[in-house]
């Protein structure tokens, strides 16, 4: 991960983090980005909650890291909760905004923990049982149409549970895999396959379990084992003494089992010595599972029990007698393993993932053939963020956030996000800006976690971190808020539009061990919420107006897209009204402006009950006109300083 010898000259500096300051950014105006062309039509079902929040790892079934709401243009960190747990994965959210998380290697015996969104207070805990190790696989929230409520699903290696949002158990069933006995036996994550109405649980050692959503009964005759062998362990140049120091710093947050240390943790996070290193994606239309794993032994040219190649597999969930089975349709090998979740385009035509050499690969979903590949600078981590419109992709690596366009037969690079967000003293010449996490896509921009620190090769050692709202048109920062802690999760957004960032300091633990920062490590999760709801109302109204206007223009070219956009426009309209109410309460928006906004929004109060291309187009015409006027009203400064002034980038 790093070569300590390159840092010796810097260790004499007294806490460089204290000498680096966040830059001040102007309060952002309205973004110049707007949707162009036909959007992808997302899969919908009564079991699936709206796409206004993260309902599972990476957002939804497709793992595209996108939400339909606008991000706060100006925000700050408002609370930190559960600071003694190591939280790698993102939370899932119910309709009320409550959080559900699974900590990694917790000292307290917790499988699932629920927090309320206002203060982060603990609601309830589902404890570990004998034989459980937890493991940090992200939970999933689905609707239960029969009961008119929601259910939270969570898995350990040896069992899967369904609980109601009040913590009562619906069902708890064994996976059939038994207790954990080796280091590669752990849960990766959950999803849902609509055609079989089944919960899918994926394990690090390549086992796949399907369970009936309502009852937990097994759907497959036995757990299914993916082909392939473990990937080789990742080589490390970290001195043993430094690893021991980092392990001691992390010990208050993570209860490392015997024989497992920080080097093993890094190896797992980078996809070494395992079959599966990240989550799966599901095509809800066709009942397809997409899993990035290791290739079959021998396909790398050597039958040796180790796979030097990664592979992405397509498995169709198909009927078999009175049950179901997994049928491999195709797979595609690529160089090295992958720590990247395969992201499914919402139109179902492409799978996107990264190899360990820094390439973004687009795979055709019909036959698993490679459509194109675009080289970036280093291994892509997590899933590719794939926008539902514009065919825009956003890949994250230690080197930055890269915009890539899918042009069909080829891919092409766009901008690289500007991450120079700190003022660094001249004598700290080895320090600079860096990316630390995936990109999240909102209706008015991106959210990323950036930091400042030093680089060793393509690895980052941050000493300060913060959250950045990035303009999708230019890659430039619209707003930045400084504030620890580092995350290995994703930009998970709740239905209130706030960011909830899981804390999993690892790179910063090395910085602390090397004396580059004096700030102690903080676990748990933090909330980053709007501090200018007048600006949030403005951005939501403007995003709705732009989307409605584009949908109206595309009504003949893609009538299904026009219908799909009705749902997002309606959600943005509600967000604009809710934010305006809060802005009035806080004194950031005048009551007269708020009344005018409500009169304009009332012109598109309800989406058409029976949506056809014709009724949807009429709605979009009305919405474009009424919400366009609302956008101009809120952008005029009538309710306060909406398009100018300066703001601090420092978190409280």
Check which CATH number belongs to the domain holding 270 and give it.
Answer: 2.130.10.10
pLDDT of the residue at 525:
97
In the chain the first and final C-alpha atoms are separated, in Å, by 32
Q: Is 342 helix (H, G, I), strand (E, B) or coil?
A: coil
The enclosing H or E element of 325 equals strand 323-335
Quick one: 195 and 127 in the same domain? yes
Tokens describing residue 186 = 């752990």
pLDDT of the residue at 302:
83
Quick one: 57 and 114 in the same domain? yes
Residue 591 structural domain:
534-647
630: phi then psi, degrees, rounded to nearest 5: -65, -40
Quick one: 568 and 469 in the same domain? no
C-beta of residue 510 within 8 angstroms of C-beta of residue 1: yes
Quick one: 147 and 251 in the same domain? yes
Residue ranges for the chain with pLDDT beneath 50: 1-13, 638-652
pLDDT of the residue at 369:
96
Which of 492, 507, 531 finishes a domain?
A: 531
Quick one: 454 and 545 in the same domain? no
Residues 6+ apart with CB under 8 A from 581: 594
Nearest CA among 478, 479, 482 for reference residue 452: 482
Quick one: 469 and 610 in the same domain? no
C-beta of residue 562 within 8 angstroms of C-beta of residue 617: yes
Quick one: 46 and 125 in the same domain? yes
Residue 246 lies in a domain: yes
Quick one: 538 and 509 in the same domain? no
pTM score, two decimals?
A: 0.93
How far apart are alpha carbons 314 and 633 in whole angstroms?
49
Task: Kindly report, residue by residue over 243-296, the tens digit of the pLDDT.
Answer: 999 999 999 999 988 878 888 888 777 666 678 888 999 999 999 999 998 889
pLDDT of the residue at 389:
86
How far apart are alpha carbons 257 and 506 in whole angstroms?
17
Max alpha carbon distance in the chain (Å)? 74
Quick one: 278 and 417 in the same domain? yes
pLDDT of the residue at 5:
40
Task: Kindly report, residue by residue over 102-140, the tens digit of the pLDDT.
Answer: 999 999 999 999 999 999 999 999 999 887 777 779 999
How many domains are there within the chain? Answer: 2
Quick one: 475 and 620 in the same domain? no
How far apart are alpha carbons 466 and 459 in whole angstroms?
18
Residue 285 lies in a domain: yes
Which of 491, 506, 531 finishes a domain?
A: 531
Residue 652 lies in a domain: no
CA distances from 542 to 35, 161, 344, 642 (A): 12, 42, 28, 13
């Amino acid at each position: 991960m790093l070569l300590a010898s390159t840092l010796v000259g810097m260790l004499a500096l007294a806490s460089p983090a204290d000498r680096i300051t966040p830059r001040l950014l102007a309060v952002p105006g309205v973004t110049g980005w707007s949707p162009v062309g036909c959007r992808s039509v997302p899969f919908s079902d009564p079991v699936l909650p709206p796409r206004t929040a993260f309902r599972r790892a990476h957002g939804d079934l497709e793992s595209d890291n996108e939400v339909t709401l606008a991000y706060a243009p100006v925000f700050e960190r408002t609370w930190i909760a559960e600071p003694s747990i190591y939280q790698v994965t993102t939370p899932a959210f119910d309709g009320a905004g409550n959080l559900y998380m699974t900590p990694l290697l917790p000292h307290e015996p917790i499988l699932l923990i629920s927090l309320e969104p206002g203060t982060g207070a603990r609601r309830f805990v589902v404890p570990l049982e004998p034989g459980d190790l937890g493991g940090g696989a992200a939970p999933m929230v689905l609707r239960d149409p029969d009961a008119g409520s929601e259910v939270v699903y969570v898995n350990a290696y040896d069992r899967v549970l369904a609980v109601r949002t009040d913590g009562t158990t619906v069902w708890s069933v064994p996976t059939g895999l038994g207790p954990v006995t080796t280091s590669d036996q752990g849960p990766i994550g959950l999803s849902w396959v609509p055609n079989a109405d089944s919960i899918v649980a994926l394990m690090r050692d390549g086992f796949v379990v399907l369970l009936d959503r309502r009852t937990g009964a097994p759907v497959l005759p036995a757990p299914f084992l993916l082909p392939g062998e473990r990937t080789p362990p990742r080589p490390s140049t970290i001195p043993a003494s430094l690893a021991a120091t980092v392990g001691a710093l992390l010990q208050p947050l993570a209860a490392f089992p015997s024989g497992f240390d920080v080097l093993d943790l890094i190896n797992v996070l980078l996809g070494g010595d395992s079959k599966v290193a990240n989550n799966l994606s599901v095509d809800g239309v066709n009942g397809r599972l997409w899993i990035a794993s290791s290739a079959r032994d021998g396909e790398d040219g050597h039958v040796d029990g180790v796979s030097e190649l990664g592979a992405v597999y397509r498995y169709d969930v198909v009927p078999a007698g009175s049950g179901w089975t997994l049928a491999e349709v195709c797979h595609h090998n690529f160089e090295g393993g992958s720590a990247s979740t395969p992201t499914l385009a919402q139109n179902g035509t492409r799978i996107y993932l990264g190899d360990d050499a820094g390439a973004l690969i687009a795979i055709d979903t019909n036959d698993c053939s490679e459509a194109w590949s675009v080289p970036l600078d280093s291994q892509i981590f997590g899933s590719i963020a794939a926008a539902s419109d514009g065919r825009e992709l956003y890949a994250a690596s230690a080197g930055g956030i890269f915009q890539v366009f899918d042009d069909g037969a080829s891919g092409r690079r766009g901008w690289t996000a500007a991450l120079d967000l700190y003022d660094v003293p001249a004598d700290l010449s080895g320090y600079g800006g860096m990316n630390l996490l995936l990109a999240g896509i909102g209706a008015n921009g991106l959210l990323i976690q950036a930091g400042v620190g030093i680089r060793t090769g393509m690895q980052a050692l941050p000493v300060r971190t913060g959250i950045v709202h990035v303009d999708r048109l230019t890659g430039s920062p619209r707003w930045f808020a400084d504030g620890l802690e580092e995350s290995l999760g994703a930009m998970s957004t709740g239905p209130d539009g706030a960011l909830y960032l899981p804390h999993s300091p690892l790179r910063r633990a090395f910085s602390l061990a090397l004396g580059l920062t004096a700030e102690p490590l903080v676990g748990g999760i933090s909330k980053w919420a709007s501090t200018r709801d007048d600006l949030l109302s403005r951005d939501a109204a403007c995003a709705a107006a732009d989307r409605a206007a584009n949908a109206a223009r595309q009504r003949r070219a893609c009538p299904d897209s026009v219908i799909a956009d009705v749902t997002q426009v309606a959600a943005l309209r509600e967000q604009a009204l809710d934010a305006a109410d809060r802005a009035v309460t806080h004194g950031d928006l005048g009551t007269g402006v708020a009344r005018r906004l409500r009169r304009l929004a009332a012109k598109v109060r309800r989406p058409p009950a029976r949506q056809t291309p014709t009724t949807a187009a009429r709605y979009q015409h009305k919405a474009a006109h009424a919400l366009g006027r609302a956008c101009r009203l809120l952008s005029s400064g009538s309710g306060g300083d909406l398009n100018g002034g300066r703001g601090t980038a420092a978190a409280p």
